[in-house]
Amino acid sequence: MKRVLFVGLAFVAACDSRGMGGGWSAGSQSAVEQVAEARKRERANIKAAIVAVGRLEGTPQVTEIKSKRGRRAVADRALQRTATLKAKDRERAIATLLSIPADWPRAKERRHRLRGIVVAIAQSDFAKKRFDAFENRCTEAEVVGRSKVAWCVVARKRLAERQDKARMKDALSVLKNGEGALFVDAAARVEGKQRVAIVWAKALRFAKSIEKTAPKTAFAIARGYPPHLKDVHSAKKLAERLRPLVKAIPVPTELATVSPLSPAPDPVSATAPAAAPTPAPAPAKPVRANLLASPVAQVAFIGGFAALTMGAALLVRRTRARRAASRLAQEEEFAVRSFTLAANHARCLVCGRDFDLNARPVNCARCGTAHHIECWDYNRVCAIYACDSRNAA
């Protein structure tokens, strides 16, 4: 429609310039200029938006783009730019893709690309053990893609299993310390069926082993045994056997608690409180012997260090002398070869050119005739008549 309008206005302007328009000249000329200016602004906005997308700086000009062709170009550039990204540019790419309106062309492809970038960030967070950020990114990817992400589902299962293994490890460490009530609370947080069975099987064996030495701890473990496990009858028998022993154990006075509703004791008739026992002195830390305390050890250490330093210096000198001797031998060989070639005025029989003094020629293995390396590779045979050797020395 815009093209038809532009052509009509141009035709009216042409007729007016020839004297056929009459009083339409001013209005038609201004309309043509307005259309041209609008097209110019549209091209400038499209170019600025494409440049901004290429730099991942957002797209502030997208609201001013009216043509479908320009919107298509900006969307294509956004997908092309975000196809291969580095880790540091992912956040900027997300902001760029979100700044493009959803009703523009290729919206579905941009949504899939945005979902892929968010999942990549979630994978990086999961590898770096930033589980809160990982969960937020997975939720964002599912909202963008409008469906569950298979990788996020698998990663959540792995994270749950990892956390469950950590709970199992904590429960076993508490069990090892012999704290029955704390173990029951820790084991109740373990969720995996197999891990629950393993934890409580070890706990029951431990309770049977400390039945006589620590009946209170063994009773707490046996009483908290889950009823859905197979050894529940054995745990009940152990609890019934330990119940009278636990009741017979007197409660220590220092651990007895006073109810806030009980009457306060009479300060007159009350006996004076017993003096607190003096704490036992802490064991002294063992004094570590200093190996370099004696003068003999110091002299031996200094002598060994000096001998090691001298040996290293001699090794370095010997290595440098060997390198210098090898370098001199190579220079002497080069000088002799150069003098021989210059004295004999040797030439290659394939190309007829003199040999370069800085290049090593190739000699025939049969007659010893010198060739250029390039000439030998080209001819593939000795240049001497009736030699026909194909081997180089």
Q: What is the pLDDT of residues 273-291, one digit of tens each?
A: 455 555 555 555 554 556 6
CA distances from 262 to 136, 256, 259, 270 (A): 53, 13, 5, 15
Alpha carbons 45 and 71: distance in angstroms, whole number: 10
The confidence score (pLDDT) of residue 315 equals: 92
Look over the chain and give the mean of its residue pLDDT values, rounded to a whole number.
77
Nearest Cα neighbor of 59 from 82, 84, 35 is 82
Alpha carbons 186 and 174: distance in angstroms, whole number: 8
- Residues 333-356: what's their mean pLDDT? 67
| Amino acid at residue number 200 | W
CA 186 to chain centre: 33
Question: Residue 132 pLDDT more than 70?
Answer: yes
The confidence score (pLDDT) of residue 94 equals: 83
Q: Is the pTM of this model over 0.75?
A: no
Range in 106-120, 157-171, 244-258 the model is least confident about: 244-258
Question: Residue 272 pLDDT more than 50?
Answer: no
Please give the torsion angle defined by the CA atoms of residues 173, 177, 182 and 188, in that order, rounded to the nearest 10 degrees: 30
- Residues 210-237: what's their mean pLDDT? 85
Give exposure, 11-35, as e/b (b: 16+ Cβ within 10 Å).
ebbeebeeeebeeeeeebbebeeee
Question: Residue 351 pLDDT more than 80?
Answer: yes
Q: CB–CB of 261/230 below 8 Å?
A: no
Alpha carbons 214 and 218: distance in angstroms, whole number: 6
Q: Which residue has the higher pLDDT, 24 or 178?
A: 178
Which tokens go with 195?
């891990």
Question: Residue 312 pLDDT more than 60?
Answer: yes
Q: Kindly indicate the confidence band of residue 125, based on its pLDDT and cuts at 50, 70 and 90.
A: confident
The confidence score (pLDDT) of residue 21 equals: 44
Question: Residue 18 pLDDT more than 50?
Answer: no
The confidence score (pLDDT) of residue 269 equals: 43
The confidence score (pLDDT) of residue 319 equals: 92
Which tokens go with 176?
């090892």
Which tokens go with 104?
């523009």
Which tokens go with 373?
């390396």
Which tokens go with 365?
């293995």
Alpha carbons 388 and 364: distance in angstroms, whole number: 10
Contacts of 359 (CB under 8 A, 6+ apart): 372, 373
- Residues 97-113: what's their mean pLDDT? 83
What count of other Cβ atoms lies within 10 Å of the Cβ of residue 246?
A: 15
Question: Residue 26 pLDDT more than 70?
Answer: no
Helices (H), the chain: 2-17, 25-54, 68-81, 90-99, 107-127, 131-145, 150-176, 180-188, 193-209, 215-223, 232-248, 295-344, 373-379
Element (H, E) at 362: strand 362-363
- Residues 7-25: what's their mean pLDDT? 53
Range in 109-123, 158-172, 201-215, 289-303 the model is least confident about: 289-303
Please give the torsion angle defined by the CA atoms of residues 44, 49, 55 and 57, in that order, rounded to the nearest 10 degrees: 120
Question: Residue 156 pLDDT more than 80?
Answer: yes
The confidence score (pLDDT) of residue 314 equals: 92
| Amino acid at residue number 146 | R
Q: Kindly indicate the confidence band of residue 110, based on its pLDDT and cuts at 50, 70 and 90.
A: confident
